[in-house]
Amino acid sequence: MIYVALIWKASRQVKKDVFQESVLNHLVNDKTNFPSFTIIIPAYNEELLIYQTVMSFIKLNYSNFEVIVVDDGSTDKTMDVLKEKFCLVASNEEPINKIGRKSCHSVQVSKTFKNLKVLGQDNGRKGSAINQGVAFAKNDWVCVVDADTIPEVDALYKMALYILNHPNYHGIGCSLRIANGAEIKDFSISTGKLPKNHISNFQIIEYIRSFFGGRIGWDAFRATLLLSGAFSAIRKDLILEVGGFSTTSIVEDLNFCMKCYRARGRSLNFKIYPEPLAWTQAPLDYRSLAAQRLRWQRGLIDSVWRFRGLFLNPKIGRVGFIHFPYLIYGMIIEPFIEVYSFFVMVYSYLYGFISTEQLLVLTGFTLFLVVLINISALSIEENYFSRQKSLKSRFRIIFYSVFEIIYYHQLLTLLNIYATFTTFGFKPKWGYMKRNKF
């Protein structure tokens, strides 16, 4: 029922935000007051994707921004690709912001693109690489992105409009799309074509539901707790104030947001931009999916424990009273309840406590509710932001939304339970992730 409420609030919020953006877009004529951005791309062993990713950001339809790539001690040819493709030369630039970071052993700038800088450091995880980029950031807003992210060409422009309309916000996230199977033309996504493998399609449904039924819904309740590390904009002064990103957390985005709430309390304002502004490559096989979800769940539990002082804390406001408790229940406890409920229902049926008709009614109602949530989230995406142009693709999405609960959701539930049991005493690590060229 929580998801039903979030879906309802999300639908109203999206309609309101889309209308405000259309009005503001017609009213804004003077672009000299638009905010400046520093895009930081941490990269570790991303030789297959780094050129496409960097070019997609360089070609953004915006004027006042810089791109900083931080090579986090890659052991493949990531740095070689960057040197070859962007004509890098050594620079004597020094960091301009004080922040905890590793030693930077190389600073290079591009002879081809004046707003591109590449930094090199020993491996220290994504949070450490972001801090390195922040130390060299010249602009007021920092865009933190993943090395497998492809933005929409007008992503920064729309983000800037949102900042102008909400000058009191400290950070803005956005919805994300799955890039698997999408067609790329001139370093940007041209068509949101569905991938051929089942695991990617299930993730598309999951992302649509989690963003349009989850994060935008929480944003409508003014209880945004997470800005995705795949693409989000944060005020640089806030990053410096809280001491940057954690260098030990394996979910540095959630850890950072919780750190900000602990520092600023209810005065902190995070916002979710409703339109998907970027595409990200989702896990391509089951091994990569398992590694990602185990990392997410273990990192979530670690962050909840580290920042347990946010729980029901009146100084945090709705985040502390609503969203933080939901993380504990919905993400940590609920998987166990689901498995327990399944065995109770099977036991009750086998020993005659419920009839076949009652079993079918209970199962049917559960499936109906989940499919209703999926279809509702899909309808929001379809009405306002759809990139699926073919009727066949739309029917395939609906098909996968029906069967996602039967198979894919159960797989994630078991992974979450395993991760929860093995969190403490487990050495945090990023895990295996298969990559393909876009």
Per-residue pLDDT of the chain (438 residues; tens, 9 = 90+): 676 677 777 777 776 666 566 655 655 655 667 899 999 999 999 999 999 999 999 999 998 999 999 999 999 999 999 999 999 999 999 999 999 888 899 999 999 999 999 999 999 889 999 999 999 999 999 999 999 999 999 999 989 988 887 889 999 998 898 888 877 888 787 776 778 888 999 998 899 888 877 888 888 889 999 999 999 999 999 999 999 999 999 999 999 999 999 999 999 999 998 887 899 999 989 999 999 999 999 999 999 999 999 999 999 999 999 999 999 999 999 999 999 999 999 999 999 999 999 999 988 888 888 888 888 887 777 776 766 656 777 778 888 888 888 899 999 999 999 999 988 776 767 766 777 776
Give the C-alpha separation, 318 to 320, whole Å: 5
Pairing outcome for strands 188-191 and 183-185: antiparallel
CA atoms within 13 A on the CB side of 210: 17
Residue pair 139/37 in contact (Cβ under 8 Å)? The answer is yes
Give the C-alpha separation, 235 to 115, whole Å: 19
- Please give the structure tokens belonging to residue 183: 């067609």
Please, which residues have CB within 8 angstroms of residue 35's CB and are 6 or more apart in sequence? 64, 139, 140, 141, 160, 163, 164
Residue with tokens 């199977």: 181
Pick from 213, 420, 218: which is nearest to 337 by CA?
420
Residue with tokens 């707003």: 115
pLDDT of residue 29: 57
pLDDT of residue 433: 73
Orientation of helix 252-264 relative to helix 125-136, angle to 10°: 60
pLDDT of residue 277: 83
Phi-psi group of 41: left, alpha or beta (phi > 0 → left; psi -120 to 50 → alpha; rest → beta): beta
Pick from 379, 188, 406: which is nearest to 279 by CA?
188
Ranges of each domain in the chain: 2-282, 320-421
Angstrom CA distances, 348 to 79, 335, 354, 366, stand at 60, 20, 6, 17
Taking the model in full, what pTM does it have? 0.92
pLDDT of residue 390: 67
What residue type is assigned to position 59 of the chain? K
**CATH number assigned to the domain with residue range 2-282, chosen from the 4 options 3.40.50.10800, 3.40.190.10, 3.90.550.10, 3.30.565.10:** 3.90.550.10
pLDDT of residue 355: 92
Residue pair 78/46 in contact (Cβ under 8 Å)? The answer is yes
Residue 92 neighbours by CB distance under 10 Å:
5
DSSP state of 153: T
Element (H, E) at 231: strand 231-235
pLDDT of residue 28: 60
Pick from 404, 408, 438: which is nearest to 185 by CA?
438
Which SS3 state, helix, strand or coil, does residue 38 take? strand
pLDDT of residue 312: 95
Burial 43-81 (b: 16+ CB within 10 A, else e): bbbbbbbbbbbbbbbbebebebbbbbbbbbbbeeebbeb
Beta strands across the sheet bearing 65-72: 88-90, 104-110, 116-121, 65-72, 37-43, 141-145, 231-235, 171-178, 270-280, 149-151
Phi-psi group of 228: left, alpha or beta (phi > 0 → left; psi -120 to 50 → alpha; rest → beta): beta
How many helices (H) and strands (E) are present in the chain, helices listed first?
16, 12
